[in-house]
Amino acid sequence: MNKYTVTGAAGFIASVVSTKLLESGHEVVGIDNLNDAYDITIKNWRLEKLQDYANFSFIENDISTSSRSWTDSFKNADSILHLAGRAGVRQSVETPHVYIESNVLGTLNVLEAVKDHNIQNIVIASTSSVYGSSLIQPYDEDSESSKVLSPYAASKKSAETLAHAYHHLYGINTQILRFFTVYGPAGRPDMSIFRFIKGISDGSEILLYGDGGERDFTYVDDIAEGVCKAGDLEGYNIINLGGDNPVRIKKIIELIEKYTSKSASIKVVGRDPADVPSTWANINTAKDILSWEPNVSIEVGISRTVDWYKDNYDWAKKIDIY
Q: Residue 15 in contact with residue 49, Cβ under 8 Å?
A: yes
* Contacts with 199 (C-beta within 8 Å, 6 or more apart), sequence order: 205, 206, 264, 265
Query: For the chain, what is the mean pLDDT?
Result: 95
CA 256, 292, 235: angle at the middle one, nearest 5?
130
Of 247, 238, 249, the closest CA to residue 296 belongs to 247
pLDDT tier for residue 204 given thresholds of 50, 70 and 90: very high
Q: Residue 70 in contact with residue 31, Cβ under 8 Å?
A: yes
Q: What is the pLDDT of residue 193?
A: 97
Q: What is the C-alpha separation between 89 and 119, in angstroms, rounded?
A: 32
User: What's the pLDDT tens digit per position in 8-56?
Assistant: 999 999 999 999 999 999 999 999 999 999 999 999 999 999 999 999 9
Q: Which residues are part of the catalytic machinery?
A: 152
User: What's the pLDDT tens digit per position in 89-110?
Assistant: 989 999 999 999 999 999 999 9
Give me the percent of the chain exceeding a pLDDT of 90.
Answer: 89
Q: What is the pLDDT of residue 212?
A: 85
Q: What is the C-alpha separation between 196 and 186, in angstroms, rounded?
A: 14
User: What's the pLDDT tens digit per position in 222-231?
Assistant: 999 999 999 9
Q: What is the C-alpha separation between 134 and 27, in angstroms, rounded?
A: 41
User: What's the pLDDT tens digit per position in 256-315?
Assistant: 999 999 999 999 998 878 777 789 999 999 999 999 999 999 999 999 999 999 999 999
Q: Across the chain, how many H-helices and E-strands are there?
A: 12, 13
pLDDT tier for residue 82 given thresholds of 50, 70 and 90: very high
Mean per-residue pLDDT for 236-249?
97
List phi, psi (to 5°) of 302.
-65, -40
Task: Say what the alpha-carbon torsion angle 289, 295, 298, 304 is, to the nearest 10 degrees.
Answer: -130
Q: What is the pLDDT of residue 51?
A: 98
Q: What is the pLDDT of residue 64?
A: 94
Q: What is the C-alpha separation between 179 and 72, in angstroms, rounded?
A: 28
Chain centroid to CA 254: 24
Task: Give the domain ranges of the chain.
Answer: 3-182+217-242+276-295
Q: What is the pLDDT of residue 121?
A: 97
pLDDT tier for residue 133 given thresholds of 50, 70 and 90: confident
- Decide which of 3.40.50.2020, 3.30.230.10, 3.50.50.60, 3.40.50.720 is the CATH code for 3-182+217-242+276-295: 3.40.50.720
Q: Residue 213 in contact with residue 248, Cβ under 8 Å?
A: yes
Q: What is the pLDDT of residue 276?
A: 77
